[in-house]
Amino acid sequence: MKKTKLRFTQALMSKGVLSLVIMVGFVGTSFAAQFDAPYYEFQKKHGAEWAKEDKAIDAKLAALEKKFGKKPNVVYILTDDIGHGELGVQGGGASRGAPTPQLDRMAHEGIMLNGFYSEPSCTPTRVALMTGRHPARTGLTDVIFPGNPAGLSPEEVTIAEILSEAGYVTAMFGKWHLGEGEETWPHNQGFDETLFGVYNTAPYAWNTPGDKFFWNNKSTPEFFTRYKLNGLMEAKKGGKAIEVAPLNLETLATFEENTFKRSIDFIQRNAKSEKPFFLYWASNFVSMFAVHPDWAGKSAQGTNSGDQFMEHDYYVGQLLRTIEELGIAENTLVVWMSDNGPMYDFFPESSSSAYTGGKGDVLEGGVHVPAIAWWPGIIEPNQINAGLLQVTDMYTTAARIGGALDQLPNDRVIDGLEQSSYLMAATPSRREYIFHYSGANIGAIRVGQYKRHLAAAHGGLPGKDFYDIYKDPKEEHGVMAELLWAWVPFDDFIRKHNELIEKYPHRKPYRSDIEE
């Protein structure tokens, strides 16, 4: 199924459409993309300043391309269910019984992104990262389990497709979790080579008799175990996916090691090639199920998740060292991030968060997650920045760094904002607001330091649903009167956001068993 990718090839500079044109600092070049309505309020205020920043970033990127003969490489590492505060540099690590020396090193050599936000759960965050759009816009809002025909629509335009058209070699290794239908899998969504798991780690227990998790399938009616499970899949763009290993405890225990090794191999093969590369390594950790035998019992925490986090930390260190040894560190951006907060349903086999709430919540504990950006020689070391970033921003930022902004689709709303100057020059973040979606509906809105939970009105008045996140980061002291002045401005944000949805409606949910 071909994708519809409507793009402007020339800037629309007439006064009547200027609001739809985002001017970027590329000399003599502009591009048109539709961002969310509130963005334009801030663009009016900061546009001139952003243009100066873009000019400086253009110069840096041009110098890099002259030195290395190609655009910068981009590596995105997405972990599973790691809460804010788990890293040693955030007060966790050894004090939680699971040291993270390599991630701590990465943070010291780059930027600790303390204002990074995900979507509330795993599938939605992966949708947002791949498309630069809130999941509600794509029709894929829920976590996918076996038998669910939902998936990432082939009509969505992924960051892998955008960078592929800009000349990048692309790869995805790890947890995909964006649908069971093969048309939704990474090799049909822009990635040249893949080794991936279709689900999260839980479904192996669907058909494992006598397993201690979930239920004992020896006594479970066949009706509940009738779905065929896909194991570890491998494919190349344009080819057919094949199962290279079944889904069981053994393959889960070595899943991280295998996808890490493939990531290293991909980097080594493409380090000196004429084309830049984009690598998406989607870690399966932390999982409550299987631990690699070499790492079992390594953490003082005494949990599978603690052992796994130490294993993952080690692999991240090896990946960074490989990039350095190959002499491509100065031309390679690496961003490490979590997909959502801890899944306390499996406590103590879970991460933790310094904030209230966890996976599935729009509370800070569910969406305020750790993230690090590392780019030696480009990103100044020892930075701790708290400017707002949302996972969708990684989509548009990768497009900018890859010289592919003109590939962004303009027939839909793109939620991700371009943040290369924030990463490369430590300028203020261009994001001053976040819509926190809970499934198909907005659950909360953040504007600056203020946050409003969307709850039912009380007799025509708002309840105590307003929070000053700087003063109350755990959202324990909701107020009304103190922030009543913010009621109408928040309503304005919602109104403008919804008006744009009327113009660019959400996509109907895609089902792999029905032609779109």
pLDDT along the chain (516 residues), means of 10: 38 30 37 89 95 97 97 97 95 95 98 98 97 97 90 97 98 96 96 94 63 52 69 95 90 94 98 97 85 94 92 98 98 97 89 94 97 98 96 98 95 97 97 96 96 86 93 95 93 95 96 71
**Could you say which of 177, 187, 312, 497 is catalytic?**
177
Hey, what domains does the chain have and what are their CATH numbers? 15-61 (no CATH), 62-436 (3.40.720.10), 437-503 (no CATH)
Known catalytic residue at 177: yes
Q: How many CA atoms lie within 13 A of 195 on its CB side?
A: 21
Q: What 3-state DSSP class applies to 76?
A: strand
Angle 411-509-284 from CA coordinates, rounded to 5° = 100
Q: Which residue has the tokens 């792999």?
A: 512
pLDDT of residue 18: 29
**Could you say which of 46, 84, 108, 122 is catalytic?**
122
CA distances from residue 473 to 155, 355, 453, 468 in whole angstroms, order as listed: 38, 7, 14, 7
pLDDT of residue 246: 87
Categorise residue 95: left if φ over 0, alpha if ψ from -120 to 50, beta otherwise: alpha
DSSP character at residue 3: P
pLDDT of residue 288: 72
CA distances from residue 9 to 6, 12, 29, 133 in whole angstroms, order as listed: 10, 9, 10, 22
Q: What 3-state DSSP class applies to 394?
A: helix
pLDDT of residue 31: 64
pLDDT of residue 84: 96
CA distances from residue 297 to 33, 308, 310 in whole angstroms, order as listed: 50, 10, 10
Residue 459, exposed/middle/buried by CB under 10 A (0-12, 13-18, 19+)? Answer: exposed
Residue 109 burial (CB count, 10 A)? 18
Report how far residue 279's alpha carbon sits from residue 265's, in angstroms, rounded to the nearest whole number: 11
* Identity of the amino acid at 416: G
Nearest to 278 by CA among 394, 129, 158, 171: 171
Q: Which residue has the tokens 């010291």?
A: 108
